[in-house]
Amino acid sequence: MEQIPVGIIMNGITGRMGTRQHLARSIAAIRDSGGIDLGDGRVIVPDPILVGRNESKLRALADEYHVERWTTDLDRALENEADTVFFDSTSTDQRVGNVSKAIAAGKAIYCEKPTATDLAGALELARLATDAGVKNGVVQDKLFLPGMVKLKRLIDGGFFGELLSFRLNFGYWVFEGDWQPINRPSWNYRAEDGGGVVLDMYPHWRYLLDNIIGPVKSVLCHHETHIPQRWDERGEPYRATGEDAAYGMFSFDNGVLAQFTTSWATRPYRDEIGEWQLDGTLGSAIVGLRDCRVQSRANTPMPVWNPDVPNPIDFRAGWSQVPDNTEFPNAFRVEWEMFLRHVVADEPFRWTLLEGAKGVQLAELALQSSAERRWVDIPELTLPTP
């Protein structure tokens, strides 16, 4: 087998998501399993260089995951022509500057979302990449979760009949930091640092809605900062300027209405951190990150309203599990493999920087909707002219 080494500049890799999902469970896992077999006698073997600001963290990660190269000098890393792919998972407010430099250096671009703190920046990155002719992609991991794969299988198989509505409860309690350590970085709750649940999560909701239901046409949103004071990693109090909850509705041309509650100030009473419910004329589904349960029209019970007696129906008993029917690898790894195949073998990859900009667009319009207290239409996105 011919080995095709691909040098990957992994910028901002010392963060939680960068380390766990992109290094440990994706790039290192792909390398350690022997690479990506292209089926033509060639195998893609990722060769990462870790880039960050903290030398001791980089050295520790390199030792743990047997990575030979690391540096705190991003500009110097971009000069190496053997490293053809640039990946960015730094904080959102740094994304445009980092990715712009990598595009100018001729690198293929793969980055976390959101791709910018505003739509203008996200569209500018998409334009720069298009003008430079570099391949580009954005992480849209939740599409490849087992629950979403099973849901797409149900939709493609016509299980729902006419789909009517799509609901989501997503989130958990993020500790304030005064009496118990925080479980999300403090910058997530400072708008000036790119924080806020809308910019954080609505880019996810955009690609899920677009790819599962269809293009989103309008949004109605109300957001709140329920916890106005939090404590940072050093135990210092700060004012939360980013919202920690958003209550949104989305409409589609096919008449489906979606309702999403997204909150870092809620205590879940459900099986998973996020649960989606889809209701159709022929059946309904409850979908988590991994599991999917369904109830068909024939198995639907007939409740009778009578608050004077205990409920006689075990509603959960009428639902059945959708079987796995296959093995589900890590969702981040799945998309990494697709993107590296795109870079080396020119296989299709449709989750580009322009698709990433759509997520920022939805977040921006949702914030506008909340400020103006009204529905806002979502126009089609096109690349700006220079």
- The CATH number linked to 28 is 3.40.50.720
Residue 356 lies in a domain: no
Residues 58 and 121 in one domain: yes
CA–CA dist 320, 317 (Å, integer): 8
- Domain contains 242: yes
- Could you tell me if 298 and 277 lie in one domain? yes
**Contact at 8 Å (CB) between 23 and 61?**
yes
Would 205 be classed as within a structural domain?
A: yes
Rounded Cα distance, 125 and 100, in Å: 7
Assess whether 278 and 153 both reside in one domain: yes
273 within a domain of the structure (yes/no): yes
**Are 134 and 155 members of one domain?**
no
Q: Terminal CA-to-CA distance of the chain, rounded, Å?
A: 44
* pLDDT, tens only, 156-188: 999 999 999 999 999 999 999 999 999 999 999
Same domain for 147 and 118: no
Tokens of 107: 């690198």
Domain tally for the chain? 2
More confident residue, 129 or 92: 129
pLDDT interval class at 386 (50, 70, 90): low
Q: How far is CA 9 from the centre of its chain?
A: 21
Domain for residue 298, yes or no? yes
Please report whether residue 368 resides in a domain. Answer: no
My answer on whether 81 and 198 are in the same domain is no
> Please, which pLDDT band fits residue 1 given cuts at 50, 70 and 90?
confident
> Same domain, yes or no, for 340 and 255?
no
Compute the distance between CA of residue 74 and CA of residue 194 in angstroms, rounded to an integer. 21
Domain end: 321, 338, 360, which one? 321
Question: 154 with 294, same domain?
Answer: yes
pLDDT at residue 143 is higher than 80: yes
Residue 334 lies in a domain: yes
- β-strands 274-280, 69-71: how paired? unpaired
Q: pLDDT at residue 316 above 70?
A: yes
Q: Model confidence over 39-71: pLDDT tens digits?
A: 999 999 999 999 999 999 999 999 999 999 999
Residue that has been written with the tokens 């479980």 in this structure:
183
Compute the distance between CA of residue 198 and CA of residue 187 in angstroms, rounded to an integer: 14
**83 neighbors 39 (Cβ within 8 angstroms):** no
> Does pLDDT of 384 surpass 80?
no
Domain that holds residue 275: 143-321
Region for residue 64 given its phi and psi (left: phi exceeds 0; alpha: psi -120 to 50; beta: otherwise): alpha
Q: What is the pLDDT of residue 366?
A: 98
List, as one string, the DSSP characters of 9-72: EEETTTSHHIIIIIIIIIIHHHHHTT-EE-SSSEEEEEEEEEE-S-HHHHHHHHHHTT--EEES
Q: Is the peptide bond before 114 cis (omega within 30 degrees of 0)?
A: yes
The arithmetic mean of pLDDT across residues 268-287, rounded, is 96
300 and 153, same structural domain? yes
pTM, full prediction: 0.94
Are 165 and 299 within one domain?
yes
Residue recorded with tokens 């050295």: 59
Cα 208 to Cα 214: distance, rounded to the nearest angstrom: 9
Does 380 fall in a domain? no
**Separation between Cα atoms, residue 233 and residue 176, nearest integer Å:** 11
- Residues sharing a CB contact under 8 Å with residue 39, sequence separation 6 or more, in sequence order: none
State the CATH number of the domain containing residue 280: 3.30.360.10
For residue 119, what is the enclosing H or E element? helix 119-132
Same domain, 147 and 295: yes
Q: Which residue has the tokens 């299709």?
A: 348
Please, where are the H alpha helices in the chain? 16-17, 28-32, 55-64, 74-79, 92-104, 119-132, 146-156, 197-212, 331-345, 353-372
Same domain membership, residue 151 and residue 55: no
